[in-house]
Amino acid sequence: MYIIVDERSVVTGGYASSFDREGVSSAGIDPTEFRDWIGKVSEADVNAIEAFLIGDCEQRESYPRLIRERSRAPVICLNERPSLDQTLDLFAAGVDDVLRKPVHVREILARVGAINRRNKAQADHVTIGDLRVYFDGRDPEVKGEPLPLPRRERRILEYIVSNRGRRVTKSQIFNSIYGLFDEDVDENVVESHISKLRKKLKHRLGFDPIDSKRYLGYCLETKAAVAAPNDAAPEVRTNGFSSWPQGW
């Protein structure tokens, strides 16, 4: 979920459409409403935000401080005109990056991914047994072969893998994939996407790696239907999910 702050609705709407074509949820917020919104939005909704994009608005140098009081998500400012002084002022205010418009949303996604990898020491992919999941828009791979997935299913798999080790609820997945303000889509659509995703993964892996518990949500299964090597020491990357370290 990307939040776009700009005083021009044509700008927020344009970026929202571009993000949607990439399978990424977003929402535009008017600067006059943003200050009040960021202070009152629920913790669960804040945690669903992947990045903030700040466009033209008054006193935008104060926005990073407001955001940091609630979120550690990357903050990127969008400039229409090159200005060294303005760029330096924005970095001094605490933004993570400054981009000159026009900029393609794929570049924004790539830069947000790079910022997160630096902040969290996160690689651009995770390999778990025979499954490799990328976080840069590429399809996952099973046993070295690509597994083509629709955008929503791929994003759901990325979200579950990035939160491996803990359960995520249907609401959390919905907010991350569809956004906080999408009232035209029913939250139950998540169940349909996950059902299709699990069938595809089971067909390729030989077992279902996503565990589902009613009212509790979903998590990446840590016990494979494939036996681990005899007396093998636990490793993070193995030929099966069953030999993960305890607690993953």
pLDDT at 183: 63
125-243: which CATH architecture? Orthogonal Bundle (1.10)
Q: What are phi and psi of 187, to 5 degrees?
A: -60, -25
- Give me the count of residues in the chain: 248
pLDDT value of position 24 = 85
The pLDDT assigned to 226 comes to: 33
Distances (CA, A) of 17 to 11, 22, 23, 25, 110: 10, 9, 10, 9, 18
Residue identified by tokens 């002022």 is 89
pTM assigned to the model? 0.59
List the domain boundaries for the chain: 2-120, 125-243
CA distance 227 to 223: 9
Note the pLDDT of residue 237: 42
What pLDDT sits at residue 240? Answer: 43
Per-residue pLDDT of the chain (248 residues; tens, 9 = 90+): 899 999 998 888 899 889 888 878 888 999 989 989 998 888 878 888 889 999 988 888 999 999 998 888 999 999 888 788 889 999 999 999 999 888 999 899 989 988 887 776 556 788 888 999 988 778 999 999 999 999 889 989 988 988 887 888 888 888 888 766 666 677 888 899 999 999 999 999 999 999 988 878 899 875 443 333 333 333 434 344 433 333 33
Per-residue model confidence (pLDDT) at position 1? 85
Determine the pLDDT at residue 186: 79
pLDDT at 184: 66
Q: Which pLDDT score, from 0 to 100, does residue 135 have? A: 81
CATH of domain 2-120: 3.40.50.2300
Predicted pLDDT at 78: 92
Question: What pLDDT score was predicted for residue 222?
Answer: 53
